[in-house]
Structure 1
Amino acid sequence: MKTVRLNNDVVMPMVGYGTYQIPITTTRDNVLQALRTGYRLIDTAQYYGNESGVGAALTESGLARDQVFVTTKVQTSGYAETKRGLDESLNRFNHDYFDLVLIHWPTGNDLETYRALEDAYQDGKVRAIGLSNFNAAQVQTIIDNSTVVPMVDQIETHLRWQQKRMHAFLASRGIIHESYAPLGEGQPGFMDAPELVKIAAKYHRTPAQVVLRFLNQEGVVVIPKTLNPEHMAQNLDLFSFVLDSADLHVLEGLDRKQALDGWPESMHEDQY
């Protein structure tokens, strides 16, 4: 497993398992399968409603708590609501701390929300804090008005929207770029680009593996989701091949700055 070092020296795996839209009733089993496959980064959120399933899987896995990096995201606004909500998340998770907590969406009261995360960080309830769906201007506002620089910004990133502009901005601030929806959330045609299919055949890999490896080689953390055990293993098997510079260039050429339906307009590059 390749890792990145956050700006507070916490180490984070570069490939994780996403749990968005996994039913509450099956989260435990799917996350347990992911842990047994070798995943050591699990991503959940208050909004997903499955923090308890993630915690139960971690307990049943028998892995030491410090061997698994768990992220959640707060779906709250303001200091008091966020402080209370995070304590409730920890109670559902049934472990002493989260490794990373993000503000899930900008709400307009983000400075107070972030202040609650800063206090949780100082209290040892979380090992790192950050943001999700924040554009450059919004991230900079947090930096300018806080004492802890965010460690991560988790944003929609995939072949059709590679987020080159945000990546450069985040790198300049020492913030890790994490991708959600790296495989396009299964939308038709996403893995069918002839250039991608050709490169996958060259390396004897699946198009999904090529996309995930491409993002990793660009310095982006990825959290693909699948309920298929075979795909789960394939998505983790990214480090036995390296895309050459010519293929990286071809894949960069597939960027359309095209978001999936329904994601925040504030993240579009003409908004910052």
Structure 2
Amino acid sequence: DHRLPYDPAADVSTQVAQSMQSSLEHLGTDHVDSYVLHGPASGYGWTDDDAEAWAAMVRERDAGRTRLLGVSNVSLRHLAQIAASGAEPPAFVQNRCFARLGWDRAVRAFCAERKIVYQGFSLLTANPEVLRHPRVADIAARRKATPAQIVFRFSQLIGMLPLTGTSDAEHMTQDLASRGLSLSNDEVQAIESLVA
């Protein structure tokens, strides 16, 4: 792929350094706020290549080219293997969150125990059935909010930092306003128990 920000024939550490350099050049800066390992090489566990990439990312951070390091699309197994290896833990985990899979409960618990920020993404697009659920509609009506706002506030109350991306100013304003909503423990439990 001609768009790769690194030489695919290079070793993993070199690829990380090349990717960082490409990002800095394209952004016109000398550092980025966070650097994310988008996903492990295997869905079955943390590989030697993952460990090499992570160590290279730590070197980039130590050199001042980034401030925070995170991982994305990881399982509890991946995180347990990172911890068991003695490697520096990520500052954040960024995972797609599905209601039908318990809102990634096991990974969230692992993160909470270790003070790792859990960032949930695709909270709306991965859970259209939740947005349409009568229970969420009832809560939204009572709270004078949109179903999306209810899902975002729910996610915050169960320990997530919700990630949202929109080019619609009104949606962004609504997303940000979700922080001011109150939900009862019963409402949080009702949403958490929803399954497709």
Deviation at 1:147, TM superposition (A): 4.2
Distance of 2:11 and 2:172 partners within structure 1: 34
Distance of 2:96 and 2:141 partners within structure 1: 26
User: For 1:131, which of 64, 68, 71 is the aligned residue?
Assistant: 71
Which protein, 1 or 2, shows the higher relative CO under an 8 Å CA cutoff with sep ≥ 6? 1
SS in 2 for 1:101: strand
Distance of 2:76 and 2:134 partners within structure 1: 33
The answer to whether the 8 Å contact 2:119/2:160 transfers is yes
1:111 is matched with 51
The answer to whether the 8 Å contact 1:111/1:146 transfers is no
1:172 is matched with 113
Alignment of 1:115-194 (within 5 A): 115-161=55-101, 162-184=103-125, 189-194=129-134
User: For 1:223, which of 163, 172, 181 is the aligned residue?
Assistant: 163
Unaligned 5+ runs, structure 2: 42-46
Root mean square deviation of aligned Cα: 2.3
1:83 is matched with 17
Percent pairwise identity: 25
Deviation at 1:183, TM superposition (A): 0.8
- When structure 1 is superposed on structure 2, of 131-140 and 206-215 the one drifting more is 131-140
Distance of 1:199 and 1:148 partners within structure 2: 41
1:3 is matched with none
1:15 is matched with none
Deviation at 1:188, TM superposition (A): 5.2
Unaligned 5+ runs, structure 1: 1-45, 50-75, 257-272
Distance of 2:11 and 2:192 partners within structure 1: 37
User: For 2:29, which of 71, 95, 101 is the aligned residue?
Assistant: 95
1:36-82 C-alpha deviation (Å, 9 max, x unpaired): xxxxxxxxxx98x9xxxxxxxxxxxxxxxxxxxxxxxxxx9821111
Q: Tell me the amino acid that sits aligned with residue 110 of structure 1.
A: D
The answer to whether the 8 Å contact 1:158/1:183 transfers is no
After superposition, the Cα gap between the structure-2 partners of 1:160 and 1:233, relative to the gap in structure 1 and judged at 3 Å, is farther
After superposition, the Cα gap between the structure-2 partners of 1:211 and 1:201, relative to the gap in structure 1 and judged at 3 Å, is same
2:194 is matched with 254
Distance of 2:11 and 2:150 partners within structure 1: 38
1:91-135 C-alpha deviation (Å, 9 max, x unpaired): 112122111111001114100100111001111111111210111
Distance of 2:184 and 2:130 partners within structure 1: 22
Distance of 1:86 and 1:190 partners within structure 2: 38
Q: Tell me the amino acid that sits aligned with residue 81 of structure 2.
A: T
After superposition, the Cα gap between the structure-2 partners of 1:77 and 1:232, relative to the gap in structure 1 and judged at 3 Å, is farther
TM-score relative to the length of structure 1 = 0.62
Deviation at 1:178, TM superposition (A): 0.7
After superposition, the Cα gap between the structure-2 partners of 1:190 and 1:228, relative to the gap in structure 1 and judged at 3 Å, is farther
Q: Tell me the amino acid that sits aligned with residue 23 of structure 2.
A: S
1:195 is matched with 135
**Structure whose residues are more often helix by fraction:** 2
Distance of 1:240 and 1:105 partners within structure 2: 33
Distance of 1:191 and 1:88 partners within structure 2: 39
TM-score relative to the length of structure 2 = 0.84
After superposition, the Cα gap between the structure-2 partners of 1:146 and 1:127, relative to the gap in structure 1 and judged at 3 Å, is farther
Counting matched residue pairs gives: 183
Q: Max radius of gyration: which structure?
A: 2
